[in-house]
Chains A and B, each alone.
Chain A
Amino acid sequence: MIQVKVKCFSQVKYVLGKDEMSLTLEPGTTSAELEELVRNQAQGKLDEVTLRIAVNQKYIPKEIELKNGDEVAFIPPVQGG
């Protein structure tokens, strides 16, 4: 099994009610599979929210296999400025 840390911001934090989660996953779990798991936890409340994924503080352009110790953030539309 692998452990990953999920960071929650903005709508993700609001819907899930937490800043971060530590999750234990099957080896070989991908970023897209983790996104599905997070969306399922949100029970539909993130269905309309586009999420970009950052792994270890870098946007990833496509689905990747997660590794033990990864920090994963699901980034809702940003609002700086």
Chain B
Amino acid sequence: MIKIEIVKGPITPFPSDDSRTQDGAELVFNGRVRATEHGENITVLEYEQYEGMAETELRNLAENTVKRFPVHDLFCKHRVGKVKVGETSLHVVIWSKHRQEGIDAMSWFIVELKKRIPIWKWATLKDGSRIPSECAH
């Protein structure tokens, strides 16, 4: 099973699940906002999505991940809008029978997410200006 959510406020983590008697591994990944982007101090990152396509692509990626790797479930929340330094922007939980397939699936899922899901970061600098985070300004 997969669950995908794009959320506009703080991420509430998926609960740990003690009822999963067939899953020896429960992997949790939290991506958090760092205080610096390309050497610049920032106060907040703003995540912009292509509404509709971002969720569809994320769902397709999750479905491909559970087909490609022998894992049971993949739950993912991605936050959009303003996210303060230190807060979680991406939360992923994968349950699998053994740890290695879960670790491999988590790694692949996140690598592919960063290639394909139409979500972008805007940084707010100390002087209040707002720029695309990869921008050379």
Interfacial residues, chain A to chain B (CB-CB below 8 A): 7, 9-11, 13-14, 54, 57-59, 73, 75-81
The answer to whether the Cβ of B31 comes within 8 Å of any Cβ in the partner chain is yes
Structural contact, A81 and B48, CB atoms closer than 8 A: no
The answer to whether the Cβ of B117 comes within 8 Å of any Cβ in the partner chain is yes
A10: B residues at CB distance < 8 A: 48, 120, 122, 132, 134
Q: How many residues of B contact A (CB 8 A)?
A: 27
Interfacial residues, chain B to chain A (CB-CB below 8 A): 31, 47-48, 50, 52-54, 56, 78, 89-90, 110, 113-122, 131-135
Structural contact, B131 and A57, CB atoms closer than 8 A: no
Q: Tell me the dominant secondary structure on chain A's binding face.
A: mixed
Within the complex, the shortest CB–CB distance from B79 to chain A, in Å, comes to 10
Within the complex, the shortest CB–CB distance from B60 to chain A, in Å, comes to 10
Q: A7 touches which one: B47, B50, B119, B134 (CB < 8 A)?
A: B50
CA of A73 to CA of B115 in the docked complex: distance in angstroms? 16
Residue of A with least CB distance to B133: A79
Within the complex, the shortest CB–CB distance from A71 to chain B, in Å, comes to 10
Contact status of A11 and B132, CB under 8 A, knowing A78-B115, A78-B117, A80-B113: yes
A79: B residues at CB distance < 8 A: 114, 119-121, 133-134
B118: A residues at CB distance < 8 A: 9, 54, 73, 75, 78
